[in-house]
Amino acid sequence: FLNGSTDHASLFSQQGKKGPNQDAMIVWENFGSMEDTVFFGVFDGHGPYDHVIAKRVKNLLPLKLGSHLESYLSCEEVLKEISLNTADRMTSDSLVQISANGESQVYNKDQDMVQMLLTSIVKAYRFMDKKLKMQVDVDCFCSGTTAVTMVKQGQHLVVGNIGDSRAVLGTRNKENKLVPFQLTEDIKPDVPVMMLPAEAARIKRWKGRIFALGDEPGVARLWLPNHNSPGLAMARAFGDFCLKDFGLIFVPDVSYRRLTEKDEFVVLATDWIWDVLTNEEVVEIVAKAPTRCTAGRALVEAAFASSLTRNQTNYQLLLSQWLNTSAMALLNLIQHQSQLQAREPNHLSSMVSKSRHNRHTRDNQRVGR
């Protein structure tokens, strides 16, 4: 599929010389049968079947997560009907009262929605890894993929992440200066303990090994106990079942942010973007993009230009020409905020399909690469 943009995002992926593009991206509008809800995902495959696994996760993970949201929506519709038919029950717009076993409980709808999203993401990731393990047409033993996914529902932003792809928010500080706020942590085998649960401690406890290669002294990798393979540069991933007994896990790091009018856009991108550009540079490039639909392309092209001008070894320069790189800029976070929100002709050249798997999803739009 070609690169392009939607009302919510600008997508761009540049294929390197090493073979099929192992990156996959998706934007799904009206996600989970809910208005003003969008799913975003960037997946970076690795191993012999990297491109197959990344695209399979792109296709299956949002379907599973969407089914959780639709179940929640069905429950909400029942509760609404109960409320409308109960004259002596008063609830505000933000509260819903549920009667169970004769006992009444009051929930804040916003808090309930956020908790449901966080829980559903974890469940969907668990399902996805089990699904990959049962695949008979693709070998996931030494192949897998990262996943950085995001659900935006109104002003709610919920993020799930495994691996070393990254999500960064462009927001305004007190001086109204556009600055980056990193929404995810790169989950490396040697990630600092204060940022995430001790990845290195878990790996060592499960007999996995962590060390860097001589030509990449700054890249810690995860290895089998008795063999110098496969050398995975992350501590969490889908697939890679050869390492699942030695410290590698699929459990996502999940986080929540309530958006404000100071939040302008989010960038999801694969690891190489962040290897050659700082968060500050990424935010500046997206903010200065000539048009909304070119933000993704501008970022990838700037990353390649930076790799050529920085003080790198010949090995690193050669490697950059072989790598696949993908970036997605998520725009229109808060309506009527930022010049990037001006509606332009939709230059979508990616696939848009209508999901009809139930009566609620008739208007859903999926854009995938």
Q: What is the mean pLDDT of residues 167-186?
A: 95
Query: What CATH number is attached to the domain comprising 189?
Result: 3.60.40.10
pLDDT of residue 9: 85
100 burial level (CB within 10 Å; 0-12, 13-18, 19+): exposed
Let me know if residue 285 belongs to a domain.
yes
Contacts of 71 by beta carbon, 8 Å cutoff, 6+ apart: none
Contact present, 49 and 15 (Cβ < 8 Å) = no
User: Would the pLDDT of 357 be above 90?
Assistant: no
Let me know if residue 83 belongs to a domain.
no
Specify the number of domains making up the chain.
Answer: 1
Could you give the residue ranges of the DSSP H alpha helices within 259-352? 271-276, 279-287, 295-309, 314-322
* Closest C-alpha among 28, 11, 1, 3 to residue 330: 11
Q: What is the mean pLDDT of residues 296-324?
A: 65
Going along 7-69, which residue ranges are E strands? 9-14, 23-29, 37-46
Let me know if residue 248 belongs to a domain.
yes
Average model confidence (pLDDT) across the chain? 78
Q: How does residue 329 score in pLDDT terms, banded at 50, 70 and 90? A: confident
- In what helix (H) or strand (E) does residue 99 lie, and over which residues does it extend? strand 95-100
Pairing of strands 220-223, 209-212: antiparallel
pLDDT in tens, 87-118: 433 333 333 333 333 343 444 556 777 888 88
Let me know if residue 189 belongs to a domain.
yes
- Domain encompassing residue 278: 8-78+110-339
Let me know if residue 316 belongs to a domain.
yes
Let me know if residue 100 belongs to a domain.
no
pLDDT in tens, 205-260: 999 999 999 888 889 999 999 999 999 999 999 999 999 999 999 999 999 999 99
More confident residue, 333 or 306: 306
Q: What is the mean pLDDT of residues 112-130?
A: 90
Q: How does residue 331 score in pLDDT terms, banded at 50, 70 and 90? A: confident
For residue 159, give the amino acid letter.
V
| pTM across the whole model | 0.80
pLDDT of residue 362: 35
pLDDT in tens, 45-64: 999 999 999 999 999 999 99
pLDDT of residue 192: 62
pLDDT of residue 111: 76
Let me know if residue 34 belongs to a domain.
yes
Cα–Cα distance measured from residue 69 to residue 33, given in angstroms and rounded to the nearest whole number:
8
For residue 160, give the amino acid letter.
G
Let me know if residue 361 belongs to a domain.
no
pLDDT in tens, 279-293: 999 999 999 988 878
User: Would the pLDDT of 323 be above 80?
Assistant: no
Residue 321, classed as helix, strand or coil, is helix
Q: How does residue 130 score in pLDDT terms, banded at 50, 70 and 90? A: very high
**What number of residues does the chain have?**
369
pLDDT of residue 64: 94
